[in-house]
Homo-oligomer: A and B are copies of this chain.
């Protein structure tokens, strides 16, 4: 009944077992035998000892000594959201392939939490950070960049063109969506927006405006409702719009969760989609084609988003210089299904 609290093996023990000094052991194991002209006999005996003892070097100690943690930080507003989950995965995979590990955190869509998490990640000496910022406050992030911490903003961002940002082409996406509605004859279109202060939301709104203007229509702000990208906001906004402006013939939801809320509201109001109400949404999702009204949507290439962010971060770390180009726009794609009816 030995309660072996198996402390882990240290380099020193390996060195002793092999009858050499720790430095020799270190060199033999980190592939520097060649460079230090260590005899292959010695090298082998160190390797054997290490294997026999199941030695696994303490990355903690190594990091402290080398000041390289091989750690990346990721701060996302909601890890459970499939959109962000996909981003987390791409970053994780790319990191792993490069010998990095990722500390994943969830800011819960809250600025103070985000700030605290970033500090904590810094205290762990991460070598790079990707964040999808919650608020409109960019100061703390700019400071990170000025401290030479490789930083990449994803999805959301700021007008500050100095921070490396990768996000979708929201404006053309929104334009395409509106054009689709306009071409089908819709003239009173309700907008279910997400968080108003975020870059994606602002740019989608610009796209909406552009599209309207190119049709000679004007932008009626009483046709916009919503405050968040979640289901509840979509539901409330749709309910509000449908009762204040019953003449609405189509809804443009700024996220698939907003669309989900719209579906609930429409069903409660007895407005069948697409017959009594057309719907289009930003963000495609797996079941979109199998809905009662197969949903026409603007699909973001979320994998691409994550991959590009990861690549930019890793390159920045490797070269210790921020990329020339700061703004990266990932194209979106309009997926036509049948949630839009022709009218007029």
Q: Are A6 and B102 in contact (CB under 8 A)?
A: no
Top 6 A-B pairs, shortest CB-CB distance? A85-B85, A104-B104, A80-B89, A79-B89, A80-B86, A263-B290
Interface presence of A64 (CB below 8 A): yes
Interface presence of A60 (CB below 8 A): yes
Q: With the chains together, A84 CA to B104 CA distance in Å?
A: 14
A: which residues have CB within 8 A of B? 4-6, 8, 56-61, 63-64, 69, 78-82, 84-86, 88-89, 92-93, 96, 101-106, 108, 117, 119-125, 146-148, 231, 257, 260, 263, 267, 285-288, 290-292
Given A80-B82, A291-B292: A60 and B64 within 8 A (CB)?
yes
Q: With the chains together, A56 CA to B88 CA distance in Å?
A: 27
Given A64-B64, A80-B82: A119 and B6 within 8 A (CB)?
no
Which one, B79, B103, B124, contacts A85 given CB within 8 A? B79
For A96, the closest partner residue in chain B by CB is: B105
> Which residues of the other chain, B, contact A108 by a CB distance below 8 angstroms?
93
Q: With the chains together, A286 CA to B79 CA distance in Å?
A: 16
Q: Are B6 and A148 in contact (CB under 8 A)?
A: yes
For A121, the closest partner residue in chain B by CB is: B101
Q: Are A105 and B92 in contact (CB under 8 A)?
A: yes
Given A119-B56, A287-B287: A92 and B104 within 8 A (CB)?
yes
A-B contact pairs, 25 of them (CB 8 A): A4-B147, A5-B148, A6-B147, A8-B122, A56-B122, A56-B123, A60-B124, A64-B64, A78-B89, A79-B89, A80-B85, A80-B89, A81-B85, A85-B85, A85-B88, A88-B88, A88-B104, A89-B106, A92-B105, A101-B103, A103-B103, A260-B287, A287-B288, A290-B291, A291-B292
For A101, the closest partner residue in chain B by CB is: B103
Chain B's nearest CB lies how many Å from the CB of A3? 9
Q: Are A123 and B292 in contact (CB under 8 A)?
A: no
> Which residues of the other chain, B, contact A285 by a CB distance below 8 angstroms?
287
Q: With the chains together, A122 CA to B125 CA distance in Å?
A: 19
> Which residues of the other chain, B, contact A61 by a CB distance below 8 angstroms?
64
Q: Are A286 and B231 in contact (CB under 8 A)?
A: yes
For A122, the closest partner residue in chain B by CB is: B56
For A63, the closest partner residue in chain B by CB is: B60
Q: With the chains together, A69 CA to B121 CA distance in Å?
A: 13
> Which residues of the other chain, B, contact A105 by a CB distance below 8 angstroms?
92, 96, 101-102
Q: Are A120 and B101 in contact (CB under 8 A)?
A: yes
Chain B's nearest CB lies how many Å from the CB of A300? 14
Chain B's nearest CB lies how many Å from the CB of A344? 27
For A306, the closest partner residue in chain B by CB is: B80
